């Protein structure tokens, strides 16, 4: 891959993804797969005005060894040095960039019950810092090719060629393969803004999903709920793009208010393992039945992580002809696959999906219908024939999606 294009991608992550401002501290989390590119991103962050840039390197095989050999007690402790890092990030509203490249199968074989128990123990220890950062700092998730990931996606190609092809599809679907990715994202964000404005003017109370695969689900929306998409804004007004790529217009539905059944249309990568061909049945807003051809035990464990894990935290609308779906590539990675077509997320909802959320405390947002959970897991449900009808507060029915794409 040409360095000139990679530098444009690095600039996109620093200037549009994070939108680094002068004097800000930046933390970058990355695997060991693409150190040269990570160096480019560090340089672009400094050019954008960052005062400090720290790279937190990880390596999935080491993480797996840690999961296998550390005790539950050890994994459940927020060590003093880890606590100090969280405190620093929260106090300084540090920018955070997460660069994904992990092997989708890289954690196969670990004791998932132990890891889930550790996550439940750690979550209340880090939650205060997460709340302190929420809507107060810029963050972004993006991706680069990892060797194992590239071979998973392109199994018939030699490793080097697989990585090259992986770069091509990542840059193309991230709108970073052209002459001016920054301008491309400005135009993309403008389109998403228009769609949000239309939906927010309808006064919707419900969304009804149907598809020939068996999906038949009714989801109630929050009374003061709004649709968001593309760029976001911190409470201080700093604009950033949390996901590169993104194609979604989304909202957080009313917690505990969904009825029916939904079928997945793509595999879900969770905790380093794949869950495939699954369905979820909702009654009184909560998952009451789980079925999966692969990974059913892990899926059941996921929806029982806490009280809110079995309820919806997000409804995302994405046309079936999105660039990611058009690529014909199954990424085995939620960042990309969730943006191929419509998806839901189980668990944590978004306060910013409430009109005037900045006036409310986190607890008040929960009382107004935003789901609370330690997890937020997206899973894909969009199909070529997906129909979504919006029902307004006055009972009017409006076609939002037809044949898998926007009806407006």
CATH number of residue 96's parent domain: 3.40.1830.10
Ranges under pLDDT 70 in the chain = none
Same structural domain for residues 236 and 167?
Answer: no
For residue 222, the 8-state DSSP code is P
Question: Does residue 180 sit within a domain?
Answer: no
Question: Does residue 194 sit within a domain?
Answer: no
Same structural domain for residues 167 and 232?
Answer: no
Same structural domain for residues 207 and 169?
Answer: no
Q: Compute the distance between CA of residue 243 and CA of residue 333 in angstroms, rounded to an integer.
A: 13
In the chain, the number of structural domains is: 2
Q: Quick one: pLDDT at residue 110? A: 92
Same structural domain for residues 64 and 129?
Answer: yes
The domain boundary, picked from 156, 173, 190, lies at 173
Same structural domain for residues 381 and 259?
Answer: yes
* Residue 356 region by backbone torsions, left for phi larger than 0, else alpha for psi between -120 and 50, else beta: left
Q: Compute the distance between CA of residue 133 and CA of residue 46 in angstroms, rounded to an integer.
A: 22
Q: Quick one: pLDDT at residue 274? A: 87
Report helix, strand or coil for 250. strand
Question: Does residue 294 sit within a domain?
Answer: yes
Question: Does residue 238 sit within a domain?
Answer: yes
Domain that holds residue 71: 3-173
Same structural domain for residues 261 and 132?
Answer: no
Same structural domain for residues 275 and 147?
Answer: no
Q: Quick one: pLDDT at residue 269? A: 86
Q: Quick one: pLDDT at residue 271? A: 84
Question: Does residue 374 sit within a domain?
Answer: yes
Q: Quick one: pLDDT at residue 64? A: 96
Q: What phi and psi values does residue 329 have, to the nearest 5 degrees?
A: -100, 130
Same structural domain for residues 114 and 206?
Answer: no
Residue 207 tokens, joined: 């969304």
Q: Quick one: pLDDT at residue 273? A: 84
Q: How many CA atoms lie within 13 A of 203 on its CB side?
A: 5
Contact 298, 105 (CB under 8 A): no
Q: What is the pLDDT of residues 105-138, one digit of tens each?
A: 999 999 989 999 999 999 999 999 998 998 899 9
Question: Does residue 181 sit within a domain?
Answer: no
Question: Does residue 33 sit within a domain?
Answer: yes
Residue 271 tokens, joined: 């905790």
């Amino acid at each position: 891959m040409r360095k000139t294009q990679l530098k444009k991608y690095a600039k996109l992550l620093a200037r549009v993804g994070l939108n680094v401002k002068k004097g800000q501290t930046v933390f970058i989390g990355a695997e060991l797969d693409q150190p040269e590119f990570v160096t480019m991103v560090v340089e672009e962050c400094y050019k954008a005005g960052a005062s400090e840039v720290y790279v937190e390197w990880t390596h999935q095989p080491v993480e797996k060894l840690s999961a296998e050999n550390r005790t539950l007690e050890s994994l459940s402790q927020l060590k003093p040095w880890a606590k100090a890092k969280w405190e620093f990030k929260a106090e300084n509203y540090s920018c955070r960039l997460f660069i994904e490249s992990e092997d989708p199968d890289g954690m196969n074989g670990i004791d998932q019950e132990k890891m889930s128990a550790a996550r439940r123990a750690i979550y209340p220890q880090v939650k205060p810092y997460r709340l302190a950062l929420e809507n107060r700092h810029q963050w972004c998730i993006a991706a680069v090719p990892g060797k194992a990931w590239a071979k998973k996606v392109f199994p018939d190609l030699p490793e080097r060629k697989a990585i090259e092809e992986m770069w091509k599809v990542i840059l193309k679907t991230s709108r970073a393969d052209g002459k001016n990715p920054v301008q491309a994202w400005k135009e993309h964000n403008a389109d998403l803004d228009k769609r949000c404005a239309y939906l927010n003017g309808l006064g919707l109370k419900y969304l009804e999903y149907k598809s020939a695969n068996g999906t038949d689900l009714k989801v109630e929306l929050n009374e003061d709920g709004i649709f968001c998409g593309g760029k976001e804004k911190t409470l201080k007004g700093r604009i950033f793009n949390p996901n590169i790529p993104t194609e979604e217009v989304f909202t957080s539905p009313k917690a505990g208010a969904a009825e029916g059944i939904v079928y997945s249309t793509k595999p879900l990568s969770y905790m380093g393992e794949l869950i495939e061909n699954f369905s979820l049945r909702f009654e009184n807003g909560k998952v009451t039945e789980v079925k999966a051809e692969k990974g059913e035990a892990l899926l059941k464990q996921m929806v029982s992580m806490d009280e809110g894990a079995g309820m919806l935290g997000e409804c995302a609308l994405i046309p079936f002809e999105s660039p990611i779906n058009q690529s014909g590539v199954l990424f085995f990675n939620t960042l990309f696959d969730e943006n191929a077509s419509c998806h839901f997320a189980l668990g944590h909802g978004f306060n910013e999906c409430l009109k005037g959320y900045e006036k409310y405390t986190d607890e008040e947002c929960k009382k107004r219908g935003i789901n609370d959970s330690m997890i937020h897991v997206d899973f894909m449900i969009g199909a070529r024939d997906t129909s979504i009808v919006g029902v307004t507060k006055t009972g009017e029915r409006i076609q939002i999606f037809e044949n898998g794409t926007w009806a407006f």
